[in-house]
Amino acid sequence: MPIKVQSQLPAIKILESENIFVMPEERAMAQDIRPLKIIILNLMPTKIETETQLLRLLGNSPLQVDIELLQMATHTSKNTSSEHLTHFYKTFDEVKDTKFDGMIITGAPVELMDFEEVDYWDELCTIMKWARKNVYSTLHICWGAQAGLYFNYGVRKYQYEEKLSGIYNHKILQPLHPLLRGFDDGFEIPHSRYTGVVREDIEKQQNLEILADSDEAGVSVVCSKNGREFYVLGHAEYDFDTLAKEYFRDKNKGLDVKLPRHYFPDDNPYKKPPMVWRSYATLLFTNWLNYYVYQQTPYDLEDLKKLYE
């Protein structure tokens, strides 16, 4: 089944070339079906690239998904044109009276700042608080996961001595959990971050459980026991060359960065990295949509309020 997006979104041509079923909103309006309503809060500077990555994964589900893109009103993007944001994105004031089946909060390149120092932190807190009563299940990614764990549970982040960047192997700690259904005992996904959380802080929270971790990358997938919140510390959505782009970007800035680990063949940055996490990324997003959005969300989204009565 398709994902429904605004006509003319740049991602459409790329996804259609990959045989991802994308339905313009005009066609979707003619269908008598209740699609899943997903809102994506895109905090990444490379917004068009991130849109394409996430829509590719959401479009691999047999479910019809209605997408809204959300930007921060209190932050001015330096890497995406104002025309693109104005045309395709909404602000919180425009969606706050709407309810959604699911929400995705992306990462952001602000890890080395304290949460409260981020210029849109107050607005993000407002959105995360709003999501508790207006979104059934929220998927937090990378810095978005750290921000969500901090806001919802007071779990702090810790800065590493050097950037954690590469493709890391993970082991599943809850093999029967629906989010990881179909995964092998070990799986690989990219990480790209300067900070992370520690197991001891997560284990102190009775409502949280760790689903997967890595000997090198640490705690990687966390969820609330009721399935309403998921925290993925890595970037399963990344393309094969995203880490390479980040590496060369930082090198060109004169930063002292190391090669992403387990990524370039023979550690040669001029060789094409293999895409070894595509199937796991697809399963992760499909399982989230199927088991924690589609099967559990009330048909009438107004019934979300009953969860708090």
Question: What gap in Å lies between CA 222 and CA 42, rounded to an integer?
Answer: 20
CA–CA–CA angle 184, 188, 190 (5° rounding): 155
Report the catalytic residues. Answer: 142, 235, 237
pLDDT at position 206, please? 95
pLDDT of 121 higher than 80: yes
Cα end-to-end span (Å), the chain: 34
Average pLDDT, the chain: 89
Q: Which range among 12-21, 144-153, 192-201 shows the weakest confidence by mean pLDDT?
A: 12-21
**Residue 308 · residue 228 · CB < 8 Å:** no
pLDDT at position 295, please? 77
233-277 per-position pLDDT tens digit: 999 999 999 999 999 999 999 988 899 999 999 999 999 999 999
**Residue 106 · residue 139 · CB < 8 Å:** no
* Of residues 13 and 190, more confidently modeled: 190
**Residue 136 · residue 297 · CB < 8 Å:** yes
